[in-house]
């Protein structure tokens, strides 16, 4: 189980050409935990009513990309710390009724981090309630309609330890994207005071990357405080990786066993098992009463 260390950049787009260069650049800038992102879009074709989608219409989910960085690569760029490289998949889909997620559940589960970009309200509802697949990050994409996200859903997501992503990479090139990202960040701030936010780069080429301290400064424009901006890179990133790993391990159940060692009367009472702490407390109350 790989845990995150240092500064995290959890969205580096997996293009075929520049991936290694981008990774090395990010590591030399100071990030230590990187996640290679692969985007999969569930294309919703305008099919006629009634017809079911054929099997060919589904886009396929490729297996996770593997990148090895040799020691010489690291030395050449002066990277002293050991990098942690994870894999991530971002699924964009609109229709919660489509069978896409359940069909490819196994291949999706091979990735370390699962992110979702829902484009409709109902899709958002499905991801938050986490029926089909466990989601770690919700990356809300650029939306033409303004604030359509229901605050209750967003708050519910925060309670369930789902993190929201703000990426600054597209902001560098495109000014409309910039405005949309800032609007989105304001919305998130209004909804839940920017509690569970990570900032990522979504970098396709190495020059989209920025140093972590610069990104922390940029976080101020995204409505984060100083501490929040630092947390968005460090602590929240670590949390995302940790929760993702825990989700893959499975639901943790804990059983409590309460044993009474000795009765207050001095006799050895038989060791009794109780169903839970409440029962034990009730027993103690009856004892003391």
Partner 1 sequence: MHNPEVEKHPPPECRLYHGCYHWEQVGKEAAWRKLVDQHPFNAKISLLMPDLPSVPADLRELLTQDTQFYRIDKLPLHQLCAPAFLQAFLNKGQVFGLSCDTLLDTDNSAVIAPDGLLRLLLNKFTYQELALSGSLSADILRTPMEKFVVEVDLKNPNFYPGKPRYQQVKNAFTQLPLAFSFWILWVPNDPDVCPSSIAKYFHDLGYSVSECAATLSQNVLEKAFMPFPGPPVEEAGLDEQIAEPEDLLEWIGCQTLGIRLSQKESVLSGVVEPRHGTPVNNLCCAQSSGFFSPSLIHLLIQYTRSWLAQREATAVPWVSLTVYGHPDSAMSWRWEKPSCSSWDNLYTLVITREHLLAFMLLGPGKPQRLIAQSHNGVLSCGETAQGSKTLLLSPNTSLPSPITQGALVVCNKVYGKLILEVGGVHLRARQVTVVIRATSTALRMWWCSSATTEHSGRPRAVIRCPTGSSASAMPSSYSMCLTQGRANTSTRLERLGLTCMAATKGLAISW
- Per CB under 8 A, residues contacting partner 1 are 3, 5-7, 30, 32, 80-81, 171-173, 175, 178, 182, 186, 189, 206-208, 210-211, 213-214, 216-218, 220-221, 223, 226-227, 230-231, 234-235, 238, 242
Q: Is 38 left (phi over 0), alpha (psi -120 to 50) or beta?
A: beta
Shortest Å distance, C-beta 267 to partner 1? 31
Q: Which is nearer to partner 1, 85 or 108 (CB)?
A: 85
In the numeric block, which tokens belong to residue 288? 């003391």
Q: Least Å distance between CB 15 and partner 1?
A: 16
d(CA 134, CA 141): 19
Closest contact distance (angstroms) between CB of 221 and partner 1 is 6
> Residue 208 or 247: which CB sits closer to partner 1?
208
Count of CB atoms within 10 A of residue 154's CB?
22
The answer to whether residues 57 and 45 touch, using CB atoms and an 8 Å cutoff, is yes
In a 3-state reduction of DSSP, which class is residue 139? coil
Q: Residue 108 or 154: which CB sits closer to partner 1?
A: 154
Which residue, 58 or 242, has its beta carbon nearer to partner 1? 242
- Least Å distance, CB 162 to partner 1, is 18
Assigned token pair, 137:
């990050």
Minimum CB separation of residue 44 from partner 1 in Å reads 32
Measured from the CB of residue 222, what is the shortest distance to partner 1 in angstroms?
9
226 class by beta-carbon count within 10 Å (0-12 exposed, 13-18 middle, 19+ buried): exposed
Strand partners, 12: 36, 203
DSSP-derived secondary structure letter, 206:
G
CB of 78 to partner 1, least distance (A): 9
Sign of torsion, CA 169 172 173 178? positive
Task: Give whichever of 221 and 274 is closer to partner 1, judged by the CB atom.
Answer: 221
CB within 8 Å of 241: residues ≥ 6 apart: 2, 3, 4, 8, 10, 33, 86, 112, 113
CB of 100 or CB of 163, closer to partner 1: 163
Three-class SS state of 209: coil
Choice between 96 and 237, CB closer to partner 1: 237
- Distance CA(182)–CA(166), nearest Å, equals 9
With residue 222 as reference, give the H or E element that holds it. Answer: none
Q: Indicate the residue among 184 and 216 with the shorter CB distance to partner 1.
A: 216
Q: Strands of 137-138's sheet, edge to edge?
A: 7-13, 31-41, 84-93, 113-118, 137-138, 163-167, 197-200
Q: Name the minimum Å distance from CB 80 to partner 1.
A: 6
């Amino acid at each position: 189980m790989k845990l995150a260390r240092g500064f995290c950049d959890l969205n580096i787009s997996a293009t075929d050409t520049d991936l290694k260069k981008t990774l090395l650049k990010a590591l030399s800038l100071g990030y230590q935990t990187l996640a290679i992102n692969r985007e999969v879009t569930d294309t919703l074709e305008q099919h006629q009513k009634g017809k079911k989608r054929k099997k060919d219409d589904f886009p396929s989910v490729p297996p996770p990309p593997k990148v090895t960085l040799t020691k010489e690569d690291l030395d050449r760029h002066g990277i002293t710390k050991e990098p942690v490289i994870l894999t991530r998949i971002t699924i964009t889909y609109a229709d919660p009724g489509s069978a896409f997620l359940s069909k490819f559940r196994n291949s999706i589960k091979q990735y370390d981090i699962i992110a979702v970009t829902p484009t409709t309200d109902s899709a958002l509802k499905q991801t938050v309630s986490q029926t089909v697949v466990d989601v770690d990050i919700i990356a809300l994409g650029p939306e033409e309609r303004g604030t359509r996200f229901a605050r209750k859903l967003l708050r519910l997501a925060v309670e369930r330890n789902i993190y929201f992503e703000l990426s600054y990479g597209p902001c560098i090139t495109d000014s409309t994207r910039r405005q949309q990202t800032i609007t989105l960040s304001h919305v998130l701030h209004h909804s839940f005071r920017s509690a569970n936010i990570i900032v990522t780069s979504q970098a396709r080429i190495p020059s989209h990357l920025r140093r972590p301290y610069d990104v922390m400064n940029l976080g101020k424009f995204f409505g984060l405080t100083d501490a929040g901006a630092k947390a968005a890179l460090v602590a929240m990133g670590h949390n995302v990786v940790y929760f993702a790993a825990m989700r893959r391990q499975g639901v943790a159940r804990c059983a409590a066993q309460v044993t009474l060692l000795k009765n207050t009367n001095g006799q050895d009472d038989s060791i009794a098992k109780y169903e839970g702490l409440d029962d034990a407390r009730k027993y103690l109350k009856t004892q003391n009463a």
